[in-house]
């Protein structure tokens, strides 16, 4: 069974706090008739800080689409390899063990895809398959997980590498003054993530089922208007309410697997904004605490697009994982409006258990705790 191993995540060194974002908005858009509404919406996102590729003064300057895309390519090549190396290390594999690279991004464009450059420079085999996905936006993180699962199901001995590279700050458009765009300027951040899905072995989430769902007649709710100045983000005011039609799709997928979506052990969800998580808590009937990993990503990094799901999963690993065989749901949402969903159980490889000497104990009947590893000598 294919297992999604610990993701590696990296964010750029330049940081902007929410207070700095609000101060900039007040300065730049002092005469905007809906400034107070935009400021209130930004504050309500729950974002405390975001990481940016470049200093804020450079981020606010538009040097043209051509230059921005050059920056995207150069920074992707500079930042992605180290994240891949860490993901491979965590999965206990080498580049030569990877059979397919699934690369997702919606904030820059390259042809050939970065996958070709990675194969030529990082020791991947020349017969490694390439699956670049460029037009699923924030849903692409979930889609990459699902396509990796499909591949490893078709080829049970294969291993897949997932890479998400999102430099949302390169899409800043100073002439876009709609409230939705002003909100986006205070919501999105930059980040790179990678994770390995092993066809055999590995510690992480062993996937059992995946699915997709598109809410009818919503294709223009989240979109790009592509102009000579680059990608102009379009966000409909109805987007925050999309969990009402999507929650039944999550329930349906779980039901097909004889699981109850309201009674799972972990939830790794794309946190596009706080209302997404609040509404899912309501419509699925689960406590808000169930989405703590996704909310932490939103608070500390903002919306890092397709990398959100991988970062939320990374946080669950770093907390210590969950009890053996815990059942969970992973989901990414994005343009379409599209949901990419998967179900899986937490699993620990036999090799890891033997190496760490982990002892599992139970302090109450319905809760399993893992003690600190015991070490000989």
Q: Annotated catalytic, 138?
A: yes
Catalytic residue among 106, 138, 168, 171: 138
Contact 127, 155 (CB under 8 A): no
Contact 173, 68 (CB under 8 A): no
Q: Are strands 230-235 and 222-227 parallel, antiparallel or unpaired?
A: antiparallel
Beta-strand ranges (E) seen in 253-302 are 266-269
In angstroms, the CA 89 to CA 99 distance is 16
Per-residue DSSP letters for 109-157?
--SS-HHHHHHHHS---TT-EEEEE-S-GGGHHHHHHHHHHHHHHHSTT
Q: Provide CB contacts within 8 A for 315, sequence distance 6+.
A: 293, 296, 297
Residue 258 per-residue DSSP state: T
Q: Are strands 327-334 and 266-269 parallel, antiparallel or unpaired?
A: parallel
Contact 317, 6 (CB under 8 A): yes
Residue 188 per-residue DSSP state: B
Catalytic machinery residues = 138
């Amino acid at each position: 069974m294919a297992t999604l191993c610990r993701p590696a995540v990296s964010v750029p060194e330049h940081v902007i706090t929410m207070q700095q974002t609000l101060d900039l908005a007040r300065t730049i858009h002092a005469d905007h008739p809906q400034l107070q509404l935009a400021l209130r919406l930004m504050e309500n996102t729950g974002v405390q800080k975001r990481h940016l590729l470049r200093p804020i003064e450079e981020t606010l300057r538009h040097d043209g689409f051509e230059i921005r895309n050059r920056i995207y390519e150069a920074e992707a090549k500079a930042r992605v390899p180290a994240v891949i190396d860490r993901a491979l290390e965590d999965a206990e594999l080498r580049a030569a063990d990877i059979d397919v690279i699934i690369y997702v991004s919606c904030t820059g464009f390259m042809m050939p895809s970065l996958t070709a450059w990675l194969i030529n420079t990082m020791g991947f085999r020349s017969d490694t398959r390439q699956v670049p996905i460029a037009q699923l936006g924030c849903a692409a993180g979930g889609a990459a997980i699902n396509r990796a699962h499909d591949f490893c199901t078709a080829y049970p001995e294969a291993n897949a590498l997932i890479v998400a590279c999102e430099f949302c700050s390169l899409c800043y458009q100073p002439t876009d003054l709609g409230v939705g765009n002003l909100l986006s300027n205070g919501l999105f951040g930059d980040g790179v993530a990678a994770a390995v899905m092993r066809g055999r072995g590995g510690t992480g989430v062993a996937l059992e089922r995946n699915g997709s769902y598109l809410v009818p007649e919503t294709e223009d709710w989240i979109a790009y208007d592509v102009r000579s100045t680059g990608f102009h983000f379009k966000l409909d005011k109805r987007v925050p309410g999309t969990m009402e039609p999507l929650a039944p799709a999550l329930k349906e997928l779980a039901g097909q697997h004889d699981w109850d979506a309201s009674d799972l052990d972990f939830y790794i969800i794309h946190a596009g904004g706080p209302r997404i998580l609040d509404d899912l808590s309501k419509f699925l009937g689960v406590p808000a605490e169930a989405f703590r990993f996704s909310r932490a990503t939103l608070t500390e990094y903002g919306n890092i697009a397709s990398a959100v799901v991988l970062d939320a999963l990374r946080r669950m690993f770093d907390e210590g994982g969950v009890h053996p065989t815990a059942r969970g749901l992973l989901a990414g949402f994005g343009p379409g409006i599209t949901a990419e969903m998967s179900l899986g159980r937490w699993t620990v490889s036999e090799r890891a258990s033997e190496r760490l000497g982990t002892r599992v104990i139970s302090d109450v009947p319905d809760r399993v705790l893992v003690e600190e590893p015991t070490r000989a000598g």
